[in-house]
Amino acid sequence: MAHPQKPVLLTGASGNLGRVLAQGLAAQGWTLRLTDIAPFPDPLPPRARFVQADLNDGVALLRQAEGCGAILHFGGISVEQPFETVLGPNLRGLYHVYEAARREGARVLFASSNHAIGFHERPDASGPQGNAPKLDVDCALRPDGYYGLSKAYGELMGRTYWDKHGVENVNCRIGSCFPKPVNARMLSTWLSFGDLIRLATAAVLAPRSGHCVIWACSDNPASFWGKDHRDRIGWQPQDSAEAYRAEVGHIVSGDPVEERYQGGGYASIGYSRSAPSPRDAFALD
């Protein structure tokens, strides 16, 4: 199998998706440098080394990135948390990642999220505004919380480092990456582990990426999302959530806010509006 000539740094290696990537990429013969604030819970894969470090420690991250050709940034807070909790790892830590990439001339794969656009309505949303179209990647950023806000910030940082320093970056708006879908929403947002590994592989090995944004979901007919830049890196998902429709298609939350917005349950956390916001981000109620 093809593998990069230089080592690849994977942050967040001890998390659920980091562990999937570590095993999957190592199986392809990649040389990996793994890092996380938490110990790595699995046996180290071949050609991998692990260093426990905090994303807030810029010097440690620079050391880990030395000689690397790509950084897969999956580290940081991965769920909705208070702003002060998100601030350090997700904002300052991301800056350290991009500074390391700038110094090494490395490409960044940034694990962005659907929660960066989570307050867009779902394509089948009901109400006086009618059905919403599928979103393309040039849609407005509409984060559904502090976690989503940090992901929007990350995409904008990638844009800045591309414009100012020529740092290539692939921003993957991950939907729901689990072994299988567990509810009706995931029939639209599910990303299989296999498609995640293939996406990371394509993002690193593509001859050129520039600054691009990709809807990171499997080949789901019910997807909320439309055009993106996947052709630039040659990625096409091979799995589909549709096979699970009979199993999970009836599972909904009963929360009208959660079911209205693409971000699902994250949109309803701390929600205090008496009526939905308008579809146009700048329109009055």
Residue 277 lies in a domain: no
How buried is residue 92: exposed, middle or buried, by Cβ count under 10 Å (0-12/13-18/19+)? middle
Q: Which of 98, 280, 231, 122 is nearest to 186 (CA)?
A: 122
Token couple for 95: 């800056």
Residue 276 lies in a domain: no
Range of the domain at 76: 8-268
Express each pLDDT in 245-261 by its tens digit. 999 999 999 999 999 99
Give the 3-state secondary structure of residue 105: coil
Q: Which of 98, 146, 147, 153 is catalytic?
A: 147
Q: Could you tell me if 118 and 264 are in contact, meaning their C-beta atoms sit under 8 angstroms apart?
A: yes
Residue 115 lies in a domain: yes
Residue 3 lies in a domain: no
Q: Which of 123, 7, 2, 120 is nearest to 71 (CA)?
A: 7
- Count H helices, E strands: the chain? 11, 9
* 271 is known as an active-site residue: no
Residue 2 lies in a domain: no
DSSP 90: I
Residue 284 lies in a domain: no
Q: What is the pTM of this model?
A: 0.95
Backbone φ and ψ for 92, nearest 5 degrees, come out as -65, -40
Residue 174 lies in a domain: yes
The Cα–Cα gap between 63 and 41 comes to 22
pLDDT at residue 73 in the model: 98
Express each pLDDT in 184-241 by its tens digit. 999 999 999 999 999 999 999 999 999 999 999 999 999 999 999 999 999 999 999 9
Q: Could you tell me if 15 and 3 are in contact, meaning their C-beta atoms sit under 8 angstroms apart?
A: no
Amino acid type, 128: P
Please report which confidence band the pLDDT of residue 133 belongs to, taking 50, 70 and 90 as the band edges: confident
pLDDT at residue 280 in the model: 87
Total tally of structural domains belonging to the chain: 1
Check which CATH number belongs to the domain holding 225 and give it.
Answer: 3.40.50.720
Residue 283 lies in a domain: no
